[in-house]
Amino acid sequence: GAVVSQHPSRVICKSGTSVKIECRSLDFQATTMFWYRQFPKQSLMLMATSNEGSKATYEQGVEKDKFLINHASLTLSTLTVTSAHPEDSSFYICSALQGEAFFGQGTRLTVV
Amino acid sequence: AQSVTQLGSHVSVSEGALVLLRCNYSSSVPPYLFWYVQYPNQGLQLLLKYTSAATLVKGINGFEAEFKKSETSFHLTKPSAHMSDAAEYFCAVSENTGRRALTFGSGTRLQVQP
């Protein structure tokens, strides 16, 4: 099956700094990628839909100025958590569509 | 609008016993339905999917699920549990048109006792 690589797998950052998470489709091109957030022992919640060459579509309640999404190429979408706070600590997972959704391995973000 | 309800946040079975994880969905349009498995600190792996073909869907690792429109259900089963099946399982739904974002259920943690 198709492979989606997410980097980094874990990151610890200080409160107030920004963190960039990359999501790459390794063997296919993806015009659409999705970013999800998962709190401990909870399900995945869709944050935004990333469209290559256009602005991302954010779900209700997700701050677009805080969670910056860039989908500059058909194989790469990035999520930047700006001015991170401890409450942003979570597991972030991306997926890319090629007929079906393929998921990255996730990024564990801890803000201290 | 779509939603997924997974009954039972925790299910415990003995090794070799039947696994049954329940999923009910709500969708205003014909749905696509999925089961994913997640191991700790990892992404999601697709077990199986229903996309309006056969109602009984076979997936990887011996899992299968049956789409029952009259019951709006898509329960996941496996005849004989293995220790390696212990994980978190998510049922998800998407519309068969448009953006194809997934709506996930709350998840069921499967424990397999020796």
pLDDT at residue A40 tops 90: no
Three state DSSP letters for B59-75 = CHHHCEEEEECCCCEEE
Q: B98 in contact with A at a CB cutoff of 8 Å? A: no
Which residues of chain B does A43 touch, with a Cβ-Cβ cutoff of 8 Å? 90, 104-107
Closest CB to B107: pick one of A43, A97, A104.
A43
Closest CA to B86 of B105, B63, B107, B113: B113
Whether A95 and B102 lie within 8 Å, measured CB to CB: yes
How does pLDDT run across A71-105, given as a tens digit for each residue?
Answer: 989 999 999 999 999 999 999 999 998 877 889 99
Q: Are A90 and A38 in contact (CB under 8 A)?
A: yes
Whether A106 and B43 lie within 8 Å, measured CB to CB: yes
How does pLDDT run across B16-55, given as a tens digit for each residue?
Answer: 999 999 999 998 888 899 999 998 878 889 999 998 778 9
pLDDT category at B97 given cuts 50, 70, 90 is low
Which residues of chain A does B105 touch, with a Cβ-Cβ cutoff of 8 Å? 43
Whether A32 and B107 lie within 8 Å, measured CB to CB: no
Which residues of chain A does B50 touch, with a Cβ-Cβ cutoff of 8 Å? none
Whether B42 and A105 lie within 8 Å, measured CB to CB: yes
Whether B103 and A46 lie within 8 Å, measured CB to CB: yes
Which residues of chain B does A104 touch, with a Cβ-Cβ cutoff of 8 Å? 43
Burial class (CB within 10 angstroms; exposed 0-12, middle 13-18, buried 19+) of B2: middle
Stretch A62-68: mean pLDDT:
95
Q: How far is the C-alpha of A43 from the C-alpha of B75, rounded, in Å?
A: 18
Closest CB to A104: pick one of B34, B43, B94.
B43
Whether A106 and B49 lie within 8 Å, measured CB to CB: no
Which pLDDT belongs to residue A5? 94
Which pLDDT belongs to residue B96? 67
